[in-house]
Amino acid sequence: MRTALVAGNWKMNGSTDVVNELMDGLIAGLNSSGGVEVLVCPPSVYLSQVEVAAKNSLISVGAQNVSENGDGAFTGEISLTMLNDLKCEYVILGHSERRSLYAESDSVVAKKFIATVAAGIKPILCVGETLEEREQGKTLAVVERQLKAVIDAAGIENFSTAVIAYEPVWAIGTGKTATPAQAQDVHAAIRNMIAEYDANTASAMRILYGGSVNAANAAELFANEDVDGGLVGGASLKANDFIAICHAAGA
């Protein structure tokens, strides 16, 4: 039995006031667990503020990215030691914006994954194809390449705390959501890919869908057997929408 997870990726949005207001709204609206784990991933400069606000609430806190290196001369980067210091539970790795805008390769994502697991933080590993790749029938090949690059480097035994997020690039921030059938097909394929390494890890693995999830479409996406919740961008910035998505995952 997998507990659904809904993770909000706030991306590069927010301010001290916006964060306070959003956290107040989320805490007020999420006062019973409802069978879903709720996570917010603010910009790193607001992690401390969110940690304080989330204390004694049902909301967990994660980061959007982390360095694969230990503390030292890496200007502008954030280390796993720092995330542990702030009691971050999760970190998003390999988001398509990191891959496309900051040239994060499969091998860099794998290094980050290995360092994250070693630091005792749970990785949310993002995979997904571009529109061009989907139209060329390459969806599963791309997802398999991204996934295997990490499994082969890290070892399947290091996936027990990991979460996978299937995020078709063409659906992220575009308002175009994968159909429930499209999402289920890829999620089932991902679970099968993991099962080739280890069946128990595959059946326990939470596989989230991400890409224009909103309050109106969440329930039908999450109703699929292999969709274990969502990674939510835009809609996670509106307390009521995010709460509705969390309730849909818990239903």
Please give the positions annotated as active site.
95, 167
Q: Is 8 in the site for ligand PEP (CB under 6 A)?
A: no
101-128 b/e with 16+ CB inside 10 Å = b? eeebebebbbbbbbbbbebebbbbbbbb
| Minimum CB distance to ligand PEP smaller for 67 or for 217 | 217
| Minimum CB distance to ligand PEP smaller for 62 or for 234 | 234
Chain residue whose CB lies nearest ligand PEP: 233
For ligand PEP, the binding residue among 233, 241, 245, 247 (CB under 6 A) is: 233
Angle at 58 between CA 167 and CA 218, to 5 degrees: 35
Could you tell me the two tokens for 77?
């980067």
For residue 97, the minimal CB distance to ligand PEP (Å) is: 7
Site string for ligand PEP, 81-110 (x = CB under 6 A): --------------x---------------
Could you tell me the two tokens for 236?
């996670």
For ligand PEP, the binding residue among 173, 192, 196, 240 (CB under 6 A) is: 173
For residue 9, the minimal CB distance to ligand PEP (Å) is: 4
Contact assessment for residue 212 and residue 169, using Cβ atoms and an 8 Å cutoff: no
Beta strands in the chain (DSSP E): 4-9, 36-41, 59-63, 90-93, 122-127, 163-166, 206-210, 229-232
Please list, in sequence order, all residues whose beta carbon lies within 8 angstroms of the beta carbon of residue 11, skipping any fewer than 6 positions away: 43, 64, 97, 233
For residue 37, the minimal CB distance to ligand PEP (Å) is: 17
Half-sphere exposure of 67 (CA within 13 A, CB side): 13
Under the phi-then-psi rule, with left for phi > 0, alpha for psi from -120 to 50, and beta for the rest, what region is 13?
beta
Could you tell me the two tokens for 108?
């860099």
For ligand PEP, the binding residue among 37, 68, 144, 167 (CB under 6 A) is: 167
Site string for ligand PEP, 180-219 (x = CB under 6 A): ------------------------------xxxx------
Options 39-47, 117-125, 137-145, 229-237: segment touching ligand PEP (CB under 6 A): 229-237
For residue 175, the minimal CB distance to ligand PEP (Å) is: 8
Could you tell me the two tokens for 110?
């794998």
For ligand PEP, the binding residue among 4, 8, 9, 109 (CB under 6 A) is: 9
Could you tell me the two tokens for 249?
């995952």
Amino acid at 157: E
For residue 231, the minimal CB distance to ligand PEP (Å) is: 5
Q: Which positions touch ligand PEP (CB under 6 A)?
A: 9, 11, 95, 167, 172-173, 210-213, 231-235
